[in-house]
Structure 1
Amino acid sequence: MTPRTTPRPSRPQMSVEEFEELARRSPEMVRLEFILGKVQVKPVPDGVHGAIVMWLLEQCMQRLPDHRLYPEQGLKVEKYRRGRARPDGTLAPIDHFVLQGEWAAPDGVLMTVEVTSRDPDTDMRDRVEKPDGYAAAGIPVYLLVDRETHAVTVHAEPEGGSYRSITTRSFGAVVELPDPVGITLETQKLKDYAD
């Protein structure tokens, strides 16, 4: 499967510094990201979205006791770290983000996780723009839980701004998360969240 890519806009809407100031001043209920030079509003998750993230958090804690899946940790992504994303989950060692501030460097991150939402931008954001940004930042694994297709997609082997390995399995299948994550997920539980 060949990954889809999107052309980078010729001119960003604003500088990274201007975005960070805007994000700092936005109300708590609004979660902003800066992907491919565009400000994006991340949808507020619904109950199913939250349940999936909690299920993944528990799986990671059981299998990797020295790591945590941090919800909504701000990361510097894309080439030269010019983007800002808030993955639904970021797998890293315990206390990895202490003293890193709101937007942490991706160094040491093993995996990012996104769970699709019921909004019109999810296709571009979670299936195209986020994988490209995470790959460009060198994050080894990107896990997409796709509620629309009832499938889990594992992106691995980042190289040149995209992931060379992309594997998709239906909810219920056994999913291998490659090194450096190195765990297996039994995704039968995700069938309970299919809507």
Structure 2
Amino acid sequence: MKRRGWLGGLLGAVLLAACATPRAPVLPDSAGGEDFSLTGRVLVRQGERAEVLRMYWHHLAAADKVSLETSLGQTVAEIDLDDEIGRAKLADGRELSEEDDLVLARKLLGSPVPLRRFADWVRAQTPASAVVERDDQGRVLRAHESDWQLAYSGYGDFAATPDLPSLVEARRADILVRLKIEEWTRGRQP
């Protein structure tokens, strides 16, 4: 069960009581899509441990709800993050709650991971302090933020969101999070 907690924490960001099934897509909103939902597969590797999970993520302004499932549909973790607190409900029934996302991540995986940064990272949004490499269309290809190396590809894979990547990698020391996004939706869910 400890391994599942490790994965849930890392991806609560990533990574972050969420839905167990994807919702019907909505059209992008006119404000550029601050709110979003995505569905995808995520590989989490730390050292010799690795796991691939399904992820359903809903981001509404300053709150994130993430559900992680095995390939057979069993929920591994449900994670809620907002500006004030992060909560994780694990498959074994344990519930964790922390104000600091780095502390929550440390409890779940033994390493501080900036869970609240993943909502920006999946959209290739970096702070001014990040070192960024862009393509000829101005889209982020690689970024170095704090001690995290980020890589982006698959822009234009989705007609409704050509400015968003379909593959995101975040690396730090022996941690790798690779998210293959299968569906992007902008705007609030019905």
* TM-score, normalization by structure 1: 0.27
Q: Which has the higher helix share?
A: 1
* TM-score, normalization by structure 2: 0.27
